[in-house]
């Protein structure tokens, strides 16, 4: 019984991850790239400097911040919202979304609706920062 409790404690201490503060931890980095409108849409500040897939990722990260701020009830975006807000034609958005889904960088919430996992936020933001340097 003691070995079982020891293993449980070891797992809790060494393998448990807490994602609850990811948005707060990455706030300063995120605000360099995105802003949130009062309606809960996301303004990607560096969209002229990034390829389409990275714009989509930043937009979806912004949706997580918008939901956390109570500016929207959802942490996801529709394909149409991504196309309209990023100024990218649907003919480009759809293939990029497929590439991002296939690479497990985003998830399809339902048909035509996508989100990014909170656990991916830090990696996305660090990758964008590196690309822009």
Give the domains, in start order, of the chain with CATH numbers: 2-132 (1.10.10.10)
Assess whether pLDDT exceeds 60 at residue 1. Answer: no
Give the tens place of pLDDT for each residue, 67-113. Answer: 999 999 999 999 999 999 999 999 999 999 999 999 999 999 999 99
pLDDT at 2 over 70: no
For the segment 16-44, the average pLDDT, to the nearest whole number, is 89
Inter-CA distances, 50 with 46, 77, 108, 129, Å? 7, 19, 22, 11
User: According to the model, what pLDDT value does residue 44 have?
Assistant: 96
Higher pLDDT, 18 or 100: 100
Residue 4 scores a pLDDT above 90: no
- Give every CB contact of residue 21 below 8 A, 6+ residues apart in sequence: none
* Per-chain mean pLDDT for the chain: 92
Residue 17, pLDDT score: 67
User: At residue 54, does pLDDT exceed 60?
Assistant: yes
Element of type H or E holding 62:
helix 52-68
Q: Return the pLDDT at 16.
A: 75
What number of H helices and E strands is found in the chain?
A: 7, 5
Name the pTM for this structure: 0.85
Query: What is the per-residue pLDDT for 18?
Result: 65
- Banded pLDDT at 127 (limits 50, 70, 90): very high
């Amino acid at each position: 019984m003691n070995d079982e409790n020891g293993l449980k404690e070891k797992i809790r201490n060494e393998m448990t991850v807490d994602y609850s503060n990811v948005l707060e931890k990455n706030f300063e980095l995120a605000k360099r790239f995105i802003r949130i409108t009062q309606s809960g849409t996301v303004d990607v500040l560096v969209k002229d400097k990034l390829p389409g897939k990275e714009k989509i990722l930043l937009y979806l990260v912004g949706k997580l911040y918008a939901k956390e701020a109570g500016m929207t009830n959802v942490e996801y975006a529709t394909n149409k919202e991504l196309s309209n807000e990023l100024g990218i034609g649907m003919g480009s958005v759809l293939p990029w979304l497929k590439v991002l889904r296939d690479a497990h960088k985003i998830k399809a919430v339902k048909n035509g609706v996508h989100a990014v996992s909170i656990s991916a936020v830090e990696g996305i933001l660090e990758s964008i920062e590196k690309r822009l340097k």
